[in-house]
Amino acid sequence: MEYREVASKILAAVGGSDNVTSVMTCLTRLRLTLTSPDAVKSDELKEIKGVLGTVRRGHDGIEVVLGPASIEGVSREFSLQSGVGVSGPSMAPKSPMGALADAPEKIEAEDRRPEPKKQDHIVITPGRRSSYRAQQRAAINDERLGKEDMDALRAFLDEGTKAAASAKPEKGGKSVLVINGPNINMLGIREPSIYGKADYAALVRTCKAAAAEAGFSGIRCFQSNHEGAIVDEIQAALGTYDGIVMNPAAYTHTSVAILDALKAVSLPCVEVHISRVEDREDFRQVSYVRQACFETITGMGLEGYRKAILDLAARLGM
């Protein structure tokens, strides 16, 4: 992938550098704040090779979904071409994806960065290296993949198809954000005697079916193993979603940051756990996020998500 070319096309499609006021990134997305969102050429943006989809972010922003293999290179090039500095994981020294992607165009971009700072060595565990490499290979070799393979990749990254990622809720309709924390992506493999044999894709299907049943016009399912990415997603929900269904997983018992983010956006939220956490280890008896939720559902497996979405709809008067 030519990061410079992709960044140039994205910049042109969003109205040029004069229309960009800030640039942020997460693990898969370029998050832009714009002076005039109406200047974005959505159809042109979605046709750029390497762009998996777009999502509106609040009243003045847009997210360009790129995937973990290309976000670092494209965001760096976008910053250089637009003149707007990037904040977020993609500018961190030697990110895991950067350590794996030895692309010439990324090296050229690095060489053009003014006054490079000394970089610290970051240890990449074998498990994380394997995960990033699998995603990177799938994304880089997309020309050799058929439609079914590409759909599977996008489902794995939970970005959906281009149409689904860029779809807006119907006028007057309500939308729900489903957030899952660390290791939920390992469902079906991780301790099936506790969490069941259904995988993460089955969880997403359950949520989408429940959202349609409840009458929501839009739903987004997001999963991350990183606390900061979850906080970013909660903050971005303000002005975009009407409620949140959340399984913070292990962060349930440790994260004040996620609790504070939920309190900050003040959206109605349901806490969900696949297992009966109240019957498990002592350390799982503490839930920080519960203070920001109007209901907690445990021990119902994936059906707990269905109940949570239906209860959220009732809370919203749907």
CA dihedral sign of residues 205, 152, 51, 73: positive
121 among known catalytic residues: no
Known binding residue 142? Answer is no
Candidate list 241, 273, 293, 305, residue with the active-site label: 273
Contacts of 10 (CB under 8 A, 6+ apart): 30, 45, 48, 51, 64, 74, 78
**3-153: which CATH topology?**
Gyrase A; domain 2 (3.30.1360)
Candidate list 26, 207, 269, 293, residue with the active-site label: 26
In CATH, the architecture of 168-315 is 3-Layer(aba) Sandwich (3.40)
Question: Tens digit of pLDDT for each residue in 297-312?
Answer: 999 999 999 999 999 9
Length of the chain equals: 318
168-315 matches 3-153 in CATH topology:
no
pTM metric for this prediction:
0.52
Q: Is 140 helix (H, G, I), strand (E, B) or coil?
A: helix
195 among known catalytic residues: yes
Known binding residue 275? Answer is yes
Q: Is 25 helix (H, G, I), strand (E, B) or coil?
A: strand
Question: Tens digit of pLDDT for each residue in 113-160?
Answer: 454 444 444 444 555 554 444 444 444 444 444 454 455 445 545 444
269 among known catalytic residues: no
Task: List the beta bridge partners of residue 20.
Answer: 34
Candidate list 195, 251, 288, 305, residue with the active-site label: 195
243-247 and 295-298 strand pairing: unpaired
Q: What is the pLDDT of residue 87?
A: 59
In the chain, what are the domain boundaries? 3-153, 168-315
Known binding residue 180? Answer is no
What element of type H or E holds 59?
none
User: Token match 């907690």: residue?
Assistant: 296
| Whole-number Å distance between alpha carbons of 2 and 294 | 47
| Whole-number Å distance between alpha carbons of 127 and 220 | 27
269-273 and 243-247 strand pairing: parallel
Known binding residue 247? Answer is yes
Q: What is the pLDDT of residue 217?
A: 92
- Tens place of pLDDT for every residue, the chain, 318 residues? 588 899 999 999 999 988 998 888 877 888 898 988 889 998 898 889 888 888 887 778 888 988 777 888 888 888 888 888 765 543 433 344 444 444 444 445 445 545 444 444 444 455 555 444 444 444 444 444 445 445 544 554 544 433 333 334 455 589 999 999 998 888 888 888 888 888 888 899 999 999 999 999 999 999 888 999 899 999 999 988 999 999 999 999 989 999 999 999 999 999 999 988 888 888 888 899 999 999 999 999 999 999 999 999 999 999
Contacts of 144 (CB under 8 A, 6+ apart): none
Question: Tens digit of pLDDT for each residue in 55-82?
Answer: 887 778 888 988 777 888 888 888 888 8
Known binding residue 284? Answer is yes
